[in-house]
């Protein structure tokens, strides 16, 4: 049987980092990563598209990564993207929106320790990503520490441990267990054409509510050309309304045409603005629920929706739509 054709797009990150006087910096090419990894049972092609620590990856780089995936999608069975861990969940989430109906598996991976360091987690993660790119159904994934998750459900939850990522609110798509590579969940296939749409609006704001937050700061955002906001509210989506009326400020922004999405600062489980008075007030003012989405998915979905010219109502409808498995709607 012919070997599966896999493309490695290398973008930097710890996986490709080397020691310098200034600390760890990306310095190894994708080819060097493959050489250190040794032989793999795939026909691998390597392309270096960036060489950045992922803390420096921003919307300009998202466009480069999305275009590279789109350009190569018909020439390979799967694509692996090596990427720093710091913003990998944001990039993987944004790719979900920029590359809807992707026709091959695209798997992001990285490591906590550089590839060129003995006992690094990089070889295992890269092997896992190749296996996923060769065998999973089309979608955007993140592979790390023996788990494959949907990119749009992944969150970096640990700064140094090998178990750095979690699939939040849905089980991982696949895992490596003593039974081998075990696929756990599948989504219905679609025959729709993959579209590349990299138009996004980056004038957005994501913040975590805390006791004492002054709602005047929210109003100030509107005066400074902010086009959309995600609030990590309390618990199920509660927002303060005595003395400092956040819900009222949210209503004012929405009336000015600025969508405000409410998510929870709890990592796990859903937000539900209907349960408590403190959530309902925000709902009455027009706050849009992010349900059980991660903040990474919520902010990238908002950027993408605004980039398409969606108004408040269209953004509300968009957040009530599951694009690629990023949200559970009931």
Ligand X SMILES: NC(=O)C[C@H](N)C(=O)O
Hey, how many other C-beta atoms are within 10 angstroms of the C-beta on 181? Answer: 16
**Residues between 105 and 134 with contacts to ligand X, criterion CB under 6 A:** 110, 112
**What DSSP string runs through 213-276?**
--THHHHHHHHTT--EEEEEEBTTTB---SSS-HHHHHHHHHHTT--EEEEESSSSS---TTSS
Stretch that binds ligand X, among 50-58, 92-100, 172-180, 186-194 (CB under 6 A): 50-58
- Nearer Cβ to ligand X, position 162 or 241? 162
Selected range binding ligand X among 59-67, 83-91, 174-182, 233-241, rule: CB under 6 A: 83-91
Binding status of residue 85 toward ligand X by CB under 6 A:
yes
CB atoms within 10 A of CB 157: 13
| 48 beta partners | 10
Which tokens go with 9? Answer: 């797009």
We find the least distance from the C-beta atom of residue 120 to ligand X, in angstroms, to be 11
Contact flag: residue 30 with ligand X (CB under 6 A): no
Q: Give Cβ neighbours of residue 76 (< 8 Å, ≥ 6 apart).
A: 5, 6, 7, 45, 104
Min dist CB 48 to ligand X, Å, is 15
Considering only 10, 54, 109, 289, the residue that binds ligand X (CB under 6 A) is 54
The count of C-alpha atoms lying within 13 angstroms of the C-alpha of 254, restricted to the half-sphere facing its C-beta, is: 23
Nearer residue to ligand X within complex by CB, 144 or 319: 144
Q: Which is nearer to ligand X, 73 or 156 (CB)?
A: 156
| Chain centre to alpha carbon of residue 323 | 13
263 sits near ligand X (criterion: CB under 6 A):
no
- C-alpha 278/C-alpha 209 separation (Å) is 13
Q: In angstroms, give the least distance from the CB of 53 to ligand X.
A: 4
* Residue whose CB is less far from ligand X, 163 or 214: 163
14 in contact with ligand X (CB under 6 A)? yes
- Please identify which residue in 3, 55, 202, 321 interacts with ligand X, judged by CB under 6 A: 55
Active site residues: 14, 85
- Radius of gyration from C-alpha coordinates of the chain: 20
CA 23 to chain centre: 26
- Count of residues in contact with ligand X, rule CB under 6 A: 10
Smallest separation, CB 91 to ligand X (Å):
10
**Distant-in-sequence, close-in-space partners of 117: CB < 8 Å, separation ≥ 6:** none
Residue 82 interacts with ligand X (CB under 6 A): yes or no: no
Query: Rule CB under 6 A: is residue 13 a binding residue for ligand X?
Result: yes
Closer to ligand X by CB, 114 or 215: give it: 114
Looking at the DSSP bridge assignments, the partners of residue 102 are: none
Q: Which residue number places its CB atom closest to ligand X?
A: 84
Q: Is 143 exposed, middle or buried (0-12, 13-18, 19+ CB in 10 A)?
A: buried
Asked if residue 294 binds ligand X (CB under 6 A), the reply is no
In this complex, which beta carbon is closest to ligand X, that of residue 13 or of residue 305? 13
Site residues (CB under 6 A) for ligand X? 13-14, 53-55, 84-86, 110, 112
């Amino acid at each position: 049987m012919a070997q599966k054709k896999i493309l490695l797009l290398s973008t930097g990150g710890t996986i490709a980092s080397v020691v310098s006087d200034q600390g760890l910096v990306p310095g190894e090419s994708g080819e060097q990563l493959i050489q250190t990894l040794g032989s793999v049972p795939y026909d691998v092609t390597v392309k270096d598209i960036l060489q950045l620590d992922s803390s420096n990856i921003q919307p300009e780089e998202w466009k480069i990564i999305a275009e590279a995936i789109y350009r190569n999608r018909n020439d390979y069975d799967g694509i692996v993207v090596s990427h720093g861990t710091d913003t990998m969940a944001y990039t993987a989430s944004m790719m979900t929106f920029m590359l809807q109906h992707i026709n091959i598996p695209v798997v992001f991976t990285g490591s906590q320790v550089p590839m060129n360091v003995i006992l690094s987690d990089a070889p295992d993660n890269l092997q896992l990503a190749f296996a996923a790119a060769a065998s999973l159904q089309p979608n955007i994934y993140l592979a790390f520490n023996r788990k494959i998750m949907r990119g749009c459900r992944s969150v970096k939850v640990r700064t140094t441990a090998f178990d750095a990522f979690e699939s939040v609110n849905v089980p991982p798509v696949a895992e490596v267990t003593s039974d081998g590579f075990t696929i756990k969940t599948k989504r219905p296939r679609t025959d729709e054409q993959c579209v590349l749409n990299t138009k996004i609006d980056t004038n957005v704001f994501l913040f975590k509510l805390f006791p004492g937050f002054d709602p005047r700061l929210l109003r100030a955002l509107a005066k400074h050309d902010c086009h959309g906001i995600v609030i990590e509210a309390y618990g199920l989506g509660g927002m303060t309304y005595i003395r400092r009326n956040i819900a009222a400020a949210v209503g004012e922004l929405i009336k000015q045409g600025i969508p405000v999405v409410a998510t929870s600062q709890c990592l796990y489980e859903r937000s539900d603005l209907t349960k408590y008075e403190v959530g309902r007030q925000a709902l009455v003012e027009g706050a849009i629920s992010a349900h059980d989405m991660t903040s990474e998915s919520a902010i990238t979905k908002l950027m993408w929706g605004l980039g398409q010219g969606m108004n408040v109502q269209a953004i509300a409808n968009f957040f009530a739509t599951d694009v690629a498995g990023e949200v559970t709607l009931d």
